[in-house]
């Protein structure tokens, strides 16, 4: 697989988001099957694996640690801190917590769960309004000096926060939602990342599955699936937003590819320093997604997609309001 540079960190062009293996999309998947899937991803060229203490909580880091232990030195592990999670019980408190002492505790516990001596990329999961970002960046800078962390990242941060943090400790990557379903980063975020030479890691690059073409207004999600709370994935919104899916399907048919592959191939062409992290619990979907790296979209294809997108207005907010309030965007 082609490699990309996030700052000075080299990763596979396509990464693997591991959240859905343990949380958010319904009941946790079978551990042994997920270990096998993660290792298969590496066999197919993936070196970039994304997790967080919040996924589970804790269980996703443990899963990734087990899966990657035999190949630890061949991969990049990204994890995150910043939510108010009790380190001992896993109980989730309200809001965020990026107090320096808490960041340090999260890092130490993550190292144990991941079975490693360093975290390749350590993100603040959400901006903490109670803690100056300079204090957060300074704490991670200290962890880097100690060799426990190699690179600093921010997730869902606004451009002013990014600039302030970057002045204290250079940021390697910023993670935010970005896809044909949500193009918000194009307005302000991507130009700033280009200016500062910061890599970009789009999460939900397939629109929480919507861009695969396998979901319509009749689809029923598991009661524990977070998509039940997403306004743009409510049944009426899904029905209206099928115009976007039809666009992707048309391009896919012309290219002999799948809609998911077109969505990911489009993302890979938006900038050089990008590594989308599509997630899955199914081996055939993993193989399908990684096939996007071989899909060729021409400049004319991109112009036609851009023109078509201009005529489609996506209905519904991308996340529930209470989640958006925790975002710096």
Active-site residue list: 55
Beta strands 48-50 and 15-17 are parallel
Place of tokens 């921010």: 154
Q: Any long-range contacts for 109-115 (C-beta under 8 Å, 24+ apart)?
A: 109/53, 109/58, 110/53, 110/61, 110/79, 110/81, 111/148, 113/58, 113/61, 113/62, 113/65, 114/51, 114/61, 114/64, 114/65, 114/68, 114/77, 114/79, 115/65, 115/66, 115/68, 115/69, 115/72
DSSP bridge pairs for 92? 85
Structure tokens, 255: 């290219």
């Amino acid at each position: 697989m082609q490699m990309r540079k996030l700052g000075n960190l080299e990763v596979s062009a396509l990464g693997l988001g591991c959240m859905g293996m343990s949380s958010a999309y319904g009941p946790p998947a079978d551990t042994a099957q997920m270990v096998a899937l993660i290792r298969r991803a590496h066999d197919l060229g993936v070196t970039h694996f994304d997790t967080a203490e919040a996924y589970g909580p804790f269980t996703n880091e443990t899963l990734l640690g087990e899966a990657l232990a035999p190949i630890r030195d061949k991969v990049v592990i990204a994890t995150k801190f910043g939510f108010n999670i009790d380190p001992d019980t896993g109980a989730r408190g309200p809001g965020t917590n990026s107090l320096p002492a808490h960041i340090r505790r999260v890092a130490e516990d993550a190292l144990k769960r991941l079975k490693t001596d360093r975290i390749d990329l350590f993100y603040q999961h959400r901006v903490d309004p109670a803690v100056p970002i300079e204090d957060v960046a300074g704490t991670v800078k200290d962890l880097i000096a100690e060799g426990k962390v190699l690179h600093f990242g921010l997730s869902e941060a606004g451009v002013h926060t990014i600039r302030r943090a970057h002045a204290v400790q250079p940021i390697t990557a910023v993670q935010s939602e970005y896809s044909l379903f949500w193009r918000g980063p194009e307005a302000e975020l991507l130009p700033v990342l280009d200016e500062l030479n910061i890599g970009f890691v789009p999460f939900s690059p397939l629109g929480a599955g919507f861009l695969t073409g396998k979901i319509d207004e009749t689809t029923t999600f598991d009661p524990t699936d977070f998509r039940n709370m997403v306004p743009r994935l409510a049944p009426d919104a899904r029905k209206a937003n099928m115009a976007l899916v039809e666009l992707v399907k048309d391009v896919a048919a012309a290219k002999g590819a799948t809609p998911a592959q077109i969505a990911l191939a489009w993302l890979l062409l938006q900038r050089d320093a990008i590594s989308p992290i599509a997630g899955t619990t199914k081996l055939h979907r993993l193989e399908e997604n990684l096939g996007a790296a071989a899909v060729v979209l021409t400049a004319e294809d991109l112009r036609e997609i851009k023109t078509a997108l201009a005529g489609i207005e996506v209905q519904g907010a991308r996340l529930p309001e209470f989640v958006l309030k925790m975002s710096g965007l």
